[in-house]
């Protein structure tokens, strides 16, 4: 097994990776910006290297600085976490060229799945259903012509996109020009590429994703699905597993589709295939070739440490189980806690004056926040994840109510009050929601 791993990330995911390494007897190297010098993962790591100023482009996205830190500290491998460079195929290649293991899939697999049009073609070849769509759009007139063929409403998406960025909806021909220009501008700003394409816009879908693990010997297992339909502006807020919208036959069908596709391309490491689900049908959306923010709920129901498995697979180990060995138990829900105003969603960085994480049976908190910690204003506003597990969904909801009441974060505003309102709504309690439900109903919450 690796002796030393560099963690090329920050925040709760960096601490999550450190913990997995520690439990496996692996030393860790934390890289950090000047703004993160007092972060918890930096304080706990065996070694720490400052790689630049606060701005992410000068630190966490600085490939040369990270490779230099890895070389100086003599690490065996680099774990990219999620976000930042986790799905950058060029970075993965750089890591391997320096004789260091990249804890993730092969660079060519990252590259293929990072190109949404290539990913669509891959999905078709593997027999995965896809939403009707277009190839790359060349102009506004081209967009209008293809939209007329597909039928409104349509959504224009960044070819190199992800995370809900570079996506704009057009309900009619009059809205095409604005949607096309805005999607291109946002895509350019977010992904350094303004190429966009078009898909038919589904009206009321669920967002369902499948977690897979695959080793380098052709073994693939599915760890069930997650329902990520509670969203605001295409950003996930609450996730749960299993999805209350699927029956056992649909669940089995989705798992087999995902496994078959991964076997065909020889995928290696952890990965997530995302689908839209509407009127009993699945449509492939995209694939994330990395660890997901919401992976803890899958760990809760499967009993499998996904980060540990990433490390083992990258070191050449085989999966120690088959699909028949996977037994998913109970239900789990994750709430993403952001340092934001719960009504306006304006980020609220500042000093944490008091911190008390909830505990008890079936309650997990992933966070590197502590009393006295100053949240820097330069990065994503998520500061914690609350994960609750239990035998039944109703039991989990009761436990989640209690855990949110027990959660104390003073000094900054957080979205805890929003989560309390969401899980108290009758539609959420009954599992009757889609990706538009939150935005359509949030003004009526009491």
Active site residues: 290
Cβ proximity of 92 and 102 under 8 Å: yes
Q: How far apart are CA 15 and CA 393, in angstroms?
A: 29
Give the dihedral sign, CA 145/148/153/154.
negative
In this structure, what are the phi and psi dihedrals at residue 23, rounded to the nearest 5 degrees?
A: -70, -20
Length, in residues, of the chain:
446
Tokens of 16: 């999550």
Q: Which residue has the tokens 């920050």?
A: 10
| Selection from 311, 289, 319, 313 nearest residue 77 by Cα | 311
Strand partners, 282: 277
What is the 3-class SS of 342-360, one letter each residue? CCCCCECCCECCEEECCCC
Can you name the residues that pair with 277 across neighbouring β-strands?
Answer: 206, 282
d(CA 225, CA 258): 10
Rounded distance between C-alpha atoms, residue 96 and residue 108, angstroms: 12
Distance in angstroms (rounded) separating the CA atoms of residues 320 and 339: 39
User: What is the spatial distance between Cα 144 and Cα 379, in angstroms, rounded to a whole number?
Assistant: 37
Closest C-alpha to 366, from 50, 13, 3: 13
What is the C-alpha to C-alpha distance for residues 267 and 312, in angstroms, rounded to an integer?
Answer: 15
Distance CA 183, CA 177 (A): 10
Token output for 361: 């049976």
| Short-list 151, 186, 157, CA closest to 171 | 151
Judge whether 334 and 395 are in contact, CB under 8 Å: no
């Amino acid at each position: 097994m690796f002796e030393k791993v560099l963690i090329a990330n920050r925040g709760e995911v960096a601490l999550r990776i450190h913990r997995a390494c520690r439990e496996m007897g692996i030393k860790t190297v934390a890289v950090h910006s000047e703004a993160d010098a007092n972060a918890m993962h930096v304080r706990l790591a065996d070694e720490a290297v400052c790689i630049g100023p606060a701005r992410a482009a000068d630190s966490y996205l600085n490939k040369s600085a990270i490779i230099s830190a890895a070389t100086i500290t003599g690490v065996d491998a680099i774990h990219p976490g999620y976000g930042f460079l986790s799905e950058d195929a060029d970075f993965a290649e750089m890591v391997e060229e320096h004789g260091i293991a990249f804890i993730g899939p092969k660079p060519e697999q990252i590259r293929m799945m990072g190109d949404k049009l290539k990913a669509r073609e891959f999905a078709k070849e593997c027999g995965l259903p896809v939403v009707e769509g277009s190839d790359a759009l060349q102009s506004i007139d081209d967009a209008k012509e293809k939209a007329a063929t597909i039928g409104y409403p349509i959504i224009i998406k960044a070819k190199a996109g992800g995370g809900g960025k570079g996506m704009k909806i057009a309900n009619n021909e009059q809205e095409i020009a604005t949607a096309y220009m805005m999607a291109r501008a946002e895509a350019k700003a977010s992904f350094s590429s303004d190429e966009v394409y078009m898909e038919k816009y589904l009206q009321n879908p669920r967002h369902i994703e499948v977690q897979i693990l695959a080793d380098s010997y052709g073994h693939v297992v599915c760890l069930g699905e997650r329902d990520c339909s509670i969203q605001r502006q295409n950003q996930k807020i609450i996730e749960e597993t299993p999805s209350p919208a699927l029956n056992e036959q649909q669940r089995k069908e989705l798992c087999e589709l995902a496994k078959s596709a991964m076997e065909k391309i020889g995928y290696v490491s952890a990965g997530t295939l995302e689908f839209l689900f509407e009127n009993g049908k699945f449509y492939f959306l995209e694939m994330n070739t990395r660890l997901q923010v919401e992976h803890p709920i899958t760990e809760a129901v499967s009993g499998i440490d996904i980060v540990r498995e990433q490390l083992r697979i990258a070191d050449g180990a085989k999966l120690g189980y088959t699909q028949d060995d996977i037994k998913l138990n109970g239900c789990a829900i994750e709430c993403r806690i952001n340092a934001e105003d719960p009504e306006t969603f304006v980020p609220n960085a500042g000093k944490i004056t008091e911190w008390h994480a909830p505990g008890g049976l079936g309650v997990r908190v992933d966070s590197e926040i502590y009393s006295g910690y100053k949240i820097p204003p330069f990065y994503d506003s998520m500061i914690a994840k609350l994960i609750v597990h239990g035998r039944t969904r109703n039991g989990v909801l009761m436990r989640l109510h209690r855990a949110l009441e027990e959660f104390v974060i003073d000094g900054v505003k957080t979205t805890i009050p929003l989560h309390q309102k969401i899980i108290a709504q009758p539609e959420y309690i009954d599992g009757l929601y889609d990706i538009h439900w939150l935005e359509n109903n949030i003004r009526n919450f009491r």
